[in-house]
Structure 1
Amino acid sequence: MSAPSRPRPAAPLGAVAPSGAYSSATSRLTVGVVGTGRVGAVLGAALVAAGHRVVAASGGAGASRARAALLLPGTPNRTAASVARSATDLLLLAVPDDALAGVVAGLAGAGALQPGQVVAHTSGAHGLAVLAPAVAVGARPLALHPAMTFTGTPDDLSRLAGISYGVTAPAGLRVLAARLVADLGGVPEWVGEVDRPLYHAALAHGANHLVTLVNEAADRLRDAGVAQPEKVLGPLLGAALTNALSLGDDALTGPVSRGDAGTVRRHLDRLAATAPESVPAYLVLARRTADRAIAAGRLRPRDAEPLLDVLGRAQQQLDVLGRAQQQLDVPDRAPRQVAA
């Protein structure tokens, strides 16, 4: 099934009027980027490609400066406050989640933010509340998170085509936000303020944990003597991902979905002997897979009983080992006798 076509704007986004409408006086935004990490530098370059003007950027580390020089050539590297003062239309904050609140408060406290200026951040975990200090001085808040993994190279620009952006915006900025996302080549997914942590947890669980899972599988293949695990995993995992996205739980295959308790027991025995650090994750995912297979009707409850027994016994053994390790790690708090 081919993907549906994505609408693109007929013209670049115009300057932002105080009411949130578009001014016809100019065809491009004056933009500043605070944080030229992997996300900020790429989105800045995408805005330039869409016809907007990035007048300044802020990046402290050597890698950030090099990335800005590559993706935003000729753009002055200034302090965050200077960038904010220069960005009369849009200030893009692409800083780590835990640093965002401090950056916003610092810019507001320094008088660097302007009434009517749109202050947008790229954090998936945060919504509009983190921008409260900017709103207090008259700026307008926007949460604009690209649902994509970034390398911080020009290759990322082609990957932006058609991706989704998790957007949280006040009613007066929804039109602007939609046009801005369209200029970036994406499609908005409107996320409520209270749902931002859940939205971000879903993306992190799917994308970040996928990397861990793939690397775990590759390591275990190497343990089994496979010299190039990526050649084994590439076609298999590519098909599994495609099937999961199109079929949901109907894409489940393998020993858990069939209730093959003996196979799973042998998996656990060999993992415990070869890579015990992989056992807890295998157990958790196998149990969750079994639950989903049962709920989807892929595995009958009575056929699942031997499998669930294997998983339960393995979890009990793991818990016993964990408690024993905790006891070993607890220092001896008994009073020591002093030799006479």
Structure 2
Amino acid sequence: MTRPARLAVGVVSAGRVGSVLGAALARAGHTVIAASGVSDASVRRAERLLPGVPLLAPDEVARQADLVLLALPDDALGPMVSGLAATGAFRAGQIVVHTSGAHGVGVLAPAAEAGALPLALHPVMTFTGRPEDLERMAACSVGVTATEADEAAWNVGEALTVEMGAEPVRIPEQTRPLYHAALAHGANHLVTLIADCVQLLRSGGVRTPERLLAPLLSAALDNVLRQGDRALTGPVARGDAGTVATHLDVLARRAPDLLPAYTVLARRTVVRAREAGLLGGAEATEISNLLDDGRDA
């Protein structure tokens, strides 16, 4: 794996991701020469994680950098790349990296046309924009995408990832939308699901639902990552139709807005438990019919 030379890094912009990755690159020996950021939060993050780095307009940041780090929301990335290209901010020999999980290197075509090397480096973790994120980088992977036939570009992306302390995982360009959908479905919807669980328990008078849930959910996550579908437990996987009927009834009365989500996930659990051999055909049919009816069996 080829180690990149010491690079002048420009960060666009100093949000939660950009400030942390800029700091990680600085820790690896590169020099962050400028960053962009206009909100008070971005300014504070830059002061904390990129001390002494001047805050400039995005085109000035990109024009000065050997490595341009574009840490922008998915929908803002394309317009920013086009705008920077229109100002002549990209040049041959630059490395232009974005951190979006939803995009591959196609979105960086204007930079590539100017002679820059395009890379997509998506850290698979959530960021707070605080110094502890730097230590968490050591436990995370980074989805690396480069131009398909350019092995040298893949090597550069992997080397930068290793320098930041993370583990590179190659994600082909055509896989990028599916990759991001899978991550969002798991991480983002998990937060929604757990927040709903906390809300349900609190509405029932449980004072510390987070403490109640923490060991259960931690064990469930660990088990599924180790065992896959064999980790399934609970009334659906056991075929306890009476318990599922009770759940449907109490949710219909106490939390009707959560009933559709419970029903959809229970249906998926039936399918996965059946395919894993945990649930017999008769039990699967009984629970599926119950879920379709949405009322007592």
TM-score range, shorter chain: over 0.9
Report the counterpart of residue 110 of structure 1 in structure 2: 87
1:154 to 118, 131, 134: 131
Deviations 1:228-260 (A, max 9, x none): 100100000000000010000000000010111
Q: Does 1:180 align with 2:157?
A: no
Shift of 1:13: 3.9
Report the counterpart of residue 270 of structure 1 in structure 2: 250
| Cα-Cα RMSD | 1.3
> CA separation in 1, counterparts of 2:14 and 2:269?
39
Shift of 1:14: 3.6
1:82 to 60, 64, 80: 60
Q: Does 1:99 align with 2:79?
A: no
Amino acid at match of 1:143: A
- Given that residues 41 and 71 in structure 1 are in contact (C-alpha distance below 8 angstroms), is that contact kept between their aligned partners in structure 2? yes
% identical equivalent positions: 57
Matched pairs, number: 292
> CA separation in 2, counterparts of 1:312 and 1:205?
23
Shift of 1:178: 1.2
Report the counterpart of residue 330 of structure 1 in structure 2: none
Query: Following superposition of structure 1 onto structure 2, how do residues 61-80 of structure 1 map, counting pairs within 5 Å?
Result: 61-80=39-58
- Unaligned 5+ residue runs, structure 1? 1-8, 16-27, 316-340
- Given that residues 99 and 121 in structure 2 are in contact (C-alpha distance below 8 angstroms), is that contact kept between their aligned partners in structure 1? yes
Report the counterpart of residue 172 of structure 2 in structure 1: 192
Report the counterpart of residue 220 of structure 2 in structure 1: 240
> CA separation in 2, counterparts of 1:261 and 1:51?
60
Deviations 1:121-157 (A, max 9, x none): 0000000110011111111100000000111111111
Q: Secondary structure at the match of 1:299?
A: coil
- Unaligned 5+ residue runs, structure 2? none
> CA separation in 2, counterparts of 1:67 and 1:275?
40
> CA separation in 2, counterparts of 1:155 and 1:277?
37
Deviations 1:268-320 (A, max 9, x none): 111111111101110110000110000111111112121111101119xxxxx
- Given that residues 34 and 58 in structure 1 are in contact (C-alpha distance below 8 angstroms), is that contact kept between their aligned partners in structure 2? yes
- Given that residues 261 and 307 in structure 1 are in contact (C-alpha distance below 8 angstroms), is that contact kept between their aligned partners in structure 2? yes
> CA separation in 1, counterparts of 2:77 and 2:259?
36
Q: Secondary structure at the match of 1:161?
A: helix
> CA separation in 2, counterparts of 1:78 and 1:45?
17
Runs of 4+ in 1 over 4 A off after TM superposition: none
Q: Secondary structure at the match of 2:293?
A: helix
TM-score normalised over the length of structure 1: 0.84
- Given that residues 15 and 129 in structure 2 are in contact (C-alpha distance below 8 angstroms), is that contact kept between their aligned partners in structure 1? yes
Shift of 1:29: 1.3
TM-score normalised over the length of structure 2: 0.96
> CA separation in 1, counterparts of 2:233 and 2:135?
33
2:201 to 221, 231, 241: 221
